[in-house]
Amino acid sequence: MTQKVLNPCMHCPHCDQRASVRTSRSLSPLYRELSYQCTNVECGHTFKCGLEILCSLSPSAMPKPGIDLPLSTTPQALTRRRLLAEPANPIIFYGKPRVDATEPAVVACTTSTN
């Protein structure tokens, strides 16, 4: 089975043409070095880039000891983590509020009209 290799898109800083990855090597679990070659034959520039994992958008379910990444604090990442942490059907809630919740549960609103 072949696996498609993603080519992180990079452009040549001299001629702005697309560059392609020629080699890559892992220098640590969080850092990879890639060698690029400009696709413009008249330019011929080759250069190296660093690809670093900066943070987690959602935590791993299989955390590895020694891998300590900060959690992203962007609004999108916070919303994603909040949605993943909620129960499967958070809209309809009957009974007492959750006492173990760190945030208020989503409770369906009901209004009574007299």
Please identify which residue in 10, 15, 21, 49 interacts with Zn ion, judged by CB under 5 A: 15
Contacts of 96 (CB under 8 A, 6+ apart): none
Q: How many residues bind Zn ion (CB under 5 A)?
A: 7
Q: Which of 33, 35, 45, 72 binds Zn ion (CB under 5 A)?
A: 45
Task: Tell me which stretch binds Zn ion (CB under 5 A): 15-23, 56-64, 67-75, 79-87.
Answer: 15-23
For 57, other C-beta atoms within 10 Å of its C-beta total 13
Q: Is 36 in the site for Zn ion (CB under 5 A)?
A: no
32 binds Zn ion (CB under 5 A): no
The DSSP output letter for 71 is: B
Neighbours of 21 (CB within 10 A): 17
Is residue 40 involved in binding Zn ion (CB under 5 A)?
yes
Instruction: Find all residues with CB under 8 Å of 72, minimum gap 6, and list them.
Output: 55, 56, 57
- Measured in whole angstroms, the distance separating CA 79 from the mean position of its chain's CA atoms is 13
Binding to Zn ion by residue 49, rule CB under 5 A?
Answer: no
Contacts with Zn ion by CB under 5 A lie at 12, 14-15, 38, 40, 43, 45
